[in-house]
Structures are given as C-alpha cells and as structure tokens.
A and B are shown apart, each in its own frame.
Chain A
Amino acid sequence: MLIAKKLTKIFNNGVVALDQVSLTVQKGEFVFLVGPSGAGKSTFLNLIIRQEVPTSGLIAVNRQNLAYLKKREIAYLRRNIGVIFQDYKLLPQKTVYENVAFALEVIETKARLIRPRVYAVLELVGLLNKANLLPSELSGGEQQRVCLARALVNRPLLLLADEPTGNLDPDTSWGIMELLLEVNRRGTTIVMATHNREIVDHMRRRVIALDRGKLVRDTPKGGYTLET
C-alpha cells in the first residue's frame, strides 16, 4: 500500500524534517506514527499526498511512484486517500453537509450519488442531526468528526489521520478511535500520527517512531515508548 525508501525531506530553510526513512505499510494495516513534536510526522503524511515533494528517496502509494505523477494524476491519487488534517481544514461558511458534499462535488461525483453518500457517512460519525450547522456552531470533537466524515465519504483505500485526537477529551478521543477501528475493519489502511500515549499503549498496533526525522523504531503491536 505504502512504500518509502530512504525518504528524505530537507526544507528550503535547511531543516531536515525526514532523514533516510524506509518503511512499508501493507494493505489493511493500522499504523501509529509517534515521536516528539517536530519529529517529521506531518511532513511524512504530507509527502504521501504529495503536498510536499521529497528531496531524495522514493515514495510509492498503491504501487505508484509519486515522483512520476502528472498534475492530473496527483488529483486522482488524492481521491484514493482520505486525510484528517491536524487543523481540520473545514470551510467556515459551509454547513456540515456542504463541507462533506464539497469533497464529492469537486471530484465530479454524479449528483444523485452525493446526497445518499453524505448522509450515510454523517450517520456513521454520528452527526446526522447536525448536518445543517456551521463548523463554528460545533464543538472541537464534532469538527474533528466532520473532518473524518469528509475523509471517508469517497471511500478511500488509505486514511491518513494527523493527531485526530489532539485537543480532545478522553471520551471523545475514544469515540474517534472506535470509528477509525471500524473503518479499518472495513478494509481501509490507516496511518495515524499521534502524541496520545494512552491510546497507542491500549490499542497494541504497529508503532513507527520518528525522532528528528530518523526512523528510530518499528514494532508490531508496540507501545508509545519502547518500555511500555
């Protein structure tokens, strides 16, 4: 599903965000990406959706080497990847329904398919009764779930979650995690960047740890740190 080989990203200002990272993620896996702030987690996710371009090394998604993609192919790549952004990226002047439907409209989904799909995914994340509210009228956790709904509405093969439980209380966090697990059970590969020790330790999934851009640990069924 996901292959990185000696993946390196050096920003224009000289910061080495990723340093020779090599890893493979199989289809259907649920992977935690951990590491201190500034370790390069978000950068790694940004490389996967080609929001950033690697300085050197290879990254391939679904057997496609991203280096060789044309602009149009990048758009098509992104249609297969759902992203929960660290900062939600919801449009403030659109309602919950419109924010989710937007993701289908702009990839030219047939109009008659949009409504049922949006309602189905809103039901999945438990926001059916808030469909007509604006993001500003929602709590943080609810906004997080709108973002999840938008990431899922196109039934992606791969879901990238960047701190989907950041700033959320434990109960809400577990709610989100249950949703992700359900999605994973339905076959979507998930890569989740997180600082949430409790969740990582409890779930016992594959853990990939980055530190200052280097891959320092890759354990199946691991914990947040080596000892746990």
Chain B
Amino acid sequence: MKPRTFFYFLREALRGLVRNRVMTLTALGIITIGLFLFGLFFLLTANLHHLTVLAWDEIEIRVFLEPTVKNPEKIGAELAALPGVKSVKYVSKAEGAASLEKMLGNQNLFLEGENPLPAAFNLSLLETADLQSLVRLASAVPGVEEVVFKQDFVRFLEIAIRLIMVFGLALLFLTAFAVLYIIINTIQLTVYARRREIEIMKLVGATDSFVRWPFLLEGIILGLLGAGLALLILKEGYAFLIQKIQFYRRFLPLLSGPELELILMAVLLGMGLFFGGLGSHVSLKRHLKV
C-alpha cells in the first residue's frame, strides 16, 4: 500500500469516527465496558489461581525414615529427583523433637535419649506435582518408613485449583465472545449507517479492500481506545483496592507489580486490536456483496 493511500484510509476512518460522533461514543463506551469486564475476570481468575498456588506451596509432605538408616543424604537425593518435588529439607531426630516440643509448648516432652521421632525429609511440591504417584514413589524408596501429608487439605486444593482453572478460562472465553459479539454489533451499526456510501463506492468500481480499509482502521482505533480506557479504569481501580486492603495483605496476598500490568495491557490491547479489526471485517462482509 502506498503511504498516500494509507493516509487516505486513515483520514477516512477518522472522518467516519468524527462524523458519526454519537455512534462512535456509544461503540467506544460498550467496547470499554466489555473489555473492562474481561479485564476484571482476568484479574479475578489470576488472583484466585495465585491464592491456590500460594496454598499449594504451603503443603508439606513429610517422609519419615526407618530408624536404621545410616545414609540419609542418599535418600534425600533420591527423593529430590522424584517428579513434582521442588525442594527437600532434612529434619533430624533432634530437630523434629524440638519443633514438636515447640508446637506443644512443653520443654521436656521426652526424657533424655528417648526421642522416639525418626529422622525425616520435608518435601515441598511443584505446582504440577501429581500427589498420588509422588506418594507412591516416595514410599517405595528404600529406607523410607512412612509418607505423611494432610490428605484432606491437599484434595481440597487440588479440586479448587482445577475448578478455578476450568471456570476461570470458561468465563474468560465467554466474556471474550460476548465482547466480540457486541463489537461486531456496534460496528455493524456504523457500517449500516454508511451502507449507501459503500454501495456507491462499489458500483463506481472501488475494490473490496479499498472499501474495507477505512472501516478496519475505524474498528481498530475504537478497539484500541476502548482497551486503553478499560486499562486505565482497571489500573486505578486495582491500585485503589490494593491500597485499601493493605492491612489484610497477609491473609489476602493479591497479585501486583509491573509484570501483571504488562500482561493485562498486552491482553487487552491485543483483544481491542484484533476484535476491532475482526468486528469490522465481519460487519462489512454482507455489504460488500454488491
């Protein structure tokens, strides 16, 4: 495309947006709301997921060793090599007793030399760990007596993570489709308002792509503007929320930081651009059949 032609398209697109001011603002409002909702669900899902991952990190699997074991390092290495294990920490007999005493608040729980606790390893898990098979494998390592973990809590977490992933993704997809749908419909209105112009263009010999470009640019501009506005609202709203619940931070550690902001920005702007363009494309299809 020649630069002159591109500027013609851009000028026509801007003209179209300015000429149909009411339509433009309505479309922009609707796109902004749609993308805002999408961003909201995105943050919600991301945070729920984050919470469950944090909880998952808290899970500890304790692997007790047989009292006769002489070489715990070798067993530790074997455990660390199992799939799904993030790290391995050795807890000696004495340490185990100390932490138990501390927990129970009794300094002299055991008589000297009669510590019945075996030495153990604490395993922390990767997010992707398959607990069942990990427990099975760990139990099979020679020298391991017993593998202990909070079974109910782990079950609950496993289900929660899966549910959040499934529902979160489904919700995001649905919102994305809804946003695309309303974008198509709003752009269809602007296209409809200018169907005569399109018809005449085609009848005097304009090519389809010539007719399409200004609308495509219009859609893209609308989509990007809508995404920008939605981002602004989300960013300010989220910052406000985080500041409000600063106090509860320990219990409700929300995601934050430039990385999240960048991802959200990329996702929303990408959606605005893609949906705006696609919306125009779809809306125009029928009218180009002249």
Q: 1/0 per position for A81-121, CB-CB distance to B under 8 A?
A: 00101000101010000000011011110010000000000
Query: Once the chains bind, are A89 and B207 in contact (CB under 8 Å)?
Result: no
The verdict on A150 contacting chain B, using a C-beta distance below 8 Å, is yes
**What count of chain B residues pass the 8 Å CB interface test?**
19
Residue A79 lies at the interface, judged by CB distance under 8 Å to chain B: yes
Which listed segment binds B: A10-18, A25-33, A70-78?
A70-78
Residue B133 at the chain A interface, CB threshold 8 Å: no
- A49 contacts chain B at the CB level, 8 A cutoff: yes
Complex: chain A residue closest to B199, CB-CB: A89
Decide: A108 and B197 in contact? CB cutoff 8 A: no
A residues apposed to B, CB below 8 Å:
49, 51, 71-72, 75-79, 83, 85, 89, 91, 93, 102-103, 105-108, 111, 150, 154
Q: Are A75 and B200 in contact (CB under 8 A)?
A: no
Q: Is the CB of B210 within 8 A of A108?
A: yes
Q: Across chains A and B, which 8 residue pairs bring their CB atoms closest together, nearest first?
A: A79-B205, A78-B205, A106-B206, A103-B204, A75-B207, A106-B201, A107-B205, A75-B205
Contact of B203 among A71, A76, A78, A154 (CB under 8 A): A78
Tell me the B residues contacting A by CB distance below 8 Å. Answer: 4-5, 8, 19, 196-197, 199-208, 210-211, 290
CB-CB under 8 A for A108 and B201, given A71-B208, A75-B207, A91-B196: no
Q: A78-B203, A102-B204 are in contact. List 17 more A-B contacts (CB 8 A).
A: A49-B203, A71-B208, A75-B202, A75-B205, A76-B205, A78-B205, A79-B205, A83-B204, A93-B19, A103-B205, A105-B8, A106-B205, A106-B211, A107-B204, A108-B5, A111-B4, A154-B204
CB contacts (< 8 Å) of B204 on chain A: these are 78-79, 83, 102-103, 106-107, 150, 154
